[in-house]
Structure 1
Amino acid sequence: MAQRPIAVLGECVADAFADTSADTFGETGRPRPGELALRVMPGGGPANTAVALARLGTTTRFLGRISTDPFGDLFRAHLTSSRVDLTGVVAAPEPSTMALATFDEQGQARYSFHAEATADWQWTDAELDAVHSSDASCLHTGSLALVREPGGERIEHLLARARAGATISIDPNVRPLLVDPRVYRSRLAHWCTMTDILRVSSDDLDLLMPGEAPERACDIWHLAGVRLVVITLGAHGALASLDGVRVRVPAPPAEVVDTIGAGDSFTAGLLHHLSLAGRLGGRLDGLTIGEVTRACAYAARVAALTCSTAGPNPPWAHELDGGPLSPAGGGR
């Protein structure tokens, strides 16, 4: 039986950061006085996840509103070159969303956003009805798409309909500089009633449930309806909880260039592995903690390879095939 596609719904973001490279400015290696040059890379949590899934070999359909401006051209080229299906994309007249990134000494990115009235959030019910297809085994979404209006509430309604035939996966990917974390907290309980897989980072956990232990957060989300919770812990790996049965998976060694897109790549690796195991398409029926362990180990390797390159640049399948953490190798 042919593998059913995974649909990813959400935003594309132009990730911009100051460029002082010699390739840009010649021998001086810096802009002239009064100038700031920006290097722009295609990003956005859902788009990053779609790219990573497609590069790993999963048939992936991106559902998004992509602007017709030059940034939108960049997004389309990036998604297409990564073999993402764009038949679910709306050509939007509004401008693209942009994030200006800076980095700390550990390579962690911090953003300022330019996102008012941009293309990604302007979904209409008619547009969502047109792009959604019932053939997807999984519908993944999250990040800003679920909390920016007018589209957020409409996407929630789509999730409620889509779960009749698809596994629902959500990554809140909290962005406190753009949306007050209280907005995420107020809606998370409702998301959990529709969600089969919830992936959050340790930073997300601190914002969603300040001071709460990861294990306690897992129990709360299980009670709300989520079967599989995965909390990624950066260099400390990940905690996965399936119906309250928990496992910790270490992070493989990585030479970190930056962490942009690492969490999105982890989510992609997790969904890709579960898809190959035949566990997507419903409520994770038959899923075992051993399968979760192997899926998270594979996902951690995908994330580590993403950290070893600049920007949201996830690995292709051939970069993982045959390794001890690849699906073919059986994981550990």
Structure 2
Amino acid sequence: MSPRQITVLGECVADAFTEPANAPHELALRVLPGGGPANTAVALARLGTPARFLARLSGDVFGRLFRAHLEASGVDLSDAVAAAEPSTLAVAELDAQGQAAFSFHAQATADWQWSNEELAGVDLSDTVCVHTGSLALVCEPGAAVVEEFLAAAAPRATISIDPNVRPMLVHPDVYRARLTHWCGLADVLRLSEDDLDLLLPGTSPERACDVWHAAGARLVVITRGAGGALVSLDGERLQVPAVTTRVVDTVGAGDSFTAGLLHHLGSHGLLGGRMTELGLGEVAQACLFATQVAALTCSVAGPNPPWQSQLAQAGAADGA
């Protein structure tokens, strides 16, 4: 079955990675197009899902980079807003394990300035799933507008949310204050172990799943890096192993996992509304596929998710 359209709403961020400079007391930066929602939209399109991205794209040098990157990956930008504000910049420092710590330059940038008028005309009649999260749901003035858009979409489309907590920019208390409301909107909640530690410190993953199910989320997936993922569907749980890979960095791995999960569910006709027919076995298969997508993303530098053909090649190599 061919997957139907998934609409992603959220930010584009210029991810600037530090590199050795040619002279003392200088800092060289290598800039790649990133941002959690943008990464997810790119990964979906490269996997073969019709992906539309609702973004506010600046006309500055970073905004032009975002637009070229998204279009080259096959993302539909027909409803993107041409924004007057500058783009958001994040400077990343990688540790020895390839984990990135970001510092954000995001004051009054384009991504957070959504108005009701900009989203009012978006047609969701062909959309089976709306995905969002990260800073788009917590940065005002646009956050409240995004929540209203999700509430209007929820009766017809599956709602997927990735909190992607960024404590350097927004205090975790802001996420905590809104998370119960998001679970009331969400059918799918995907977050990382680091997110869990920030949102419910000292809480076991299993207990956290129960809390979020009680608030309304049907499917909760907590990704654990090399530890795989914990999957919980209405309280039924299982563990999905990670795929062993050579890690260059982990930037965008969670976004790629989310895209793989949604792509697989959509390809099997399991997205749309509250997914009442979804079973734990089907979710397990989708998550196993998602771990393959995330592993390939970890094997290259930056948020660079694989194309469908690369997945096929990797599968053929594994079977050889």
TM > 0.5 between the two?
A: yes
- Once residues 116 and 132 of structure 1 are traced to their aligned partners in structure 2, the CA distance between those partners, rounded to angstroms, is 30
- Once residues 180 and 143 of structure 2 are traced to their aligned partners in structure 1, the CA distance between those partners, rounded to angstroms, is 15
How large is the RMSD of aligned CA atoms in angstroms? 1.5
Q: Tell whether the 8 Å contact from 1:87 to 1:131 is kept in structure 2 after alignment.
A: no
Unaligned 5+ segments in structure 1 are 21-29
Give 1:57 shift: 0.3
Give 1:165 shift: 1.2
Q: Which residue of 2 aligns with 1:25?
A: none
Q: Which residue of 1 aligns with 2:160?
A: 169
Give 1:135 shift: 1.9
- Once residues 76 and 154 of structure 1 are traced to their aligned partners in structure 2, the CA distance between those partners, rounded to angstroms, is 23
- Once residues 170 and 32 of structure 1 are traced to their aligned partners in structure 2, the CA distance between those partners, rounded to angstroms, is 44
- Once residues 204 and 37 of structure 1 are traced to their aligned partners in structure 2, the CA distance between those partners, rounded to angstroms, is 30
- Once residues 75 and 107 of structure 2 are traced to their aligned partners in structure 1, the CA distance between those partners, rounded to angstroms, is 27
**Counterpart among 284, 289, 294 of residue 280 in structure 2:** 289
Q: Which residue of 2 aligns with 1:16?
A: 16
Q: Tell whether the 8 Å contact from 2:11 to 2:37 is kept in structure 1 after alignment.
A: yes
- Once residues 169 and 94 of structure 1 are traced to their aligned partners in structure 2, the CA distance between those partners, rounded to angstroms, is 27
Aligned-partner SS, 2:214: helix
**1:82-121 map, 5 Å:** 82-121=73-112
Aligned residues: 317
Could you state the TM-score of these two structures normalised by the residue count of structure 1?
0.93
- Once residues 62 and 314 of structure 2 are traced to their aligned partners in structure 1, the CA distance between those partners, rounded to angstroms, is 36
**Counterpart among 201, 204, 208 of residue 213 in structure 1:** 204
Q: Which residue of 2 aligns with 1:259?
A: 250
Q: Which residue of 2 aligns with 1:269?
A: 260
1:72-130 CA-partner distances (Å, limit 9, x unpaired): 00000000010000012000000000000001111100000000000000001000113
Give 1:32 shift: 2.1
- Once residues 287 and 190 of structure 1 are traced to their aligned partners in structure 2, the CA distance between those partners, rounded to angstroms, is 23
**Counterpart among 149, 156, 177 of residue 147 in structure 2:** 156
**1:1-332 map, 5 Å:** 3-20=3-20, 30-321=21-312
Unaligned 5+ segments in structure 2 are none
Could you state the TM-score of these two structures normalised by the residue count of structure 2?
0.96
Q: Tell whether the 8 Å contact from 1:88 to 1:132 is kept in structure 2 after alignment.
A: no
Give 1:309 shift: 0.1
Q: Tell whether the 8 Å contact from 1:134 to 1:162 is kept in structure 2 after alignment.
A: no
Aligned-partner SS, 1:178: coil
Give 1:254 shift: 0.8
Give 1:323 shift: 6.4
Give 1:281 shift: 1.1
Give 1:17 shift: 1.6
Q: Tell whether the 8 Å contact from 2:3 to 2:268 is kept in structure 1 after alignment.
A: no
- Once residues 118 and 209 of structure 1 are traced to their aligned partners in structure 2, the CA distance between those partners, rounded to angstroms, is 29
Aligned-partner SS, 2:55: strand
Q: Tell whether the 8 Å contact from 1:197 to 1:227 is kept in structure 2 after alignment.
A: yes
Q: Which amino acid in 1 is paired with 2:9?
A: L
- Once residues 207 and 133 of structure 1 are traced to their aligned partners in structure 2, the CA distance between those partners, rounded to angstroms, is 33
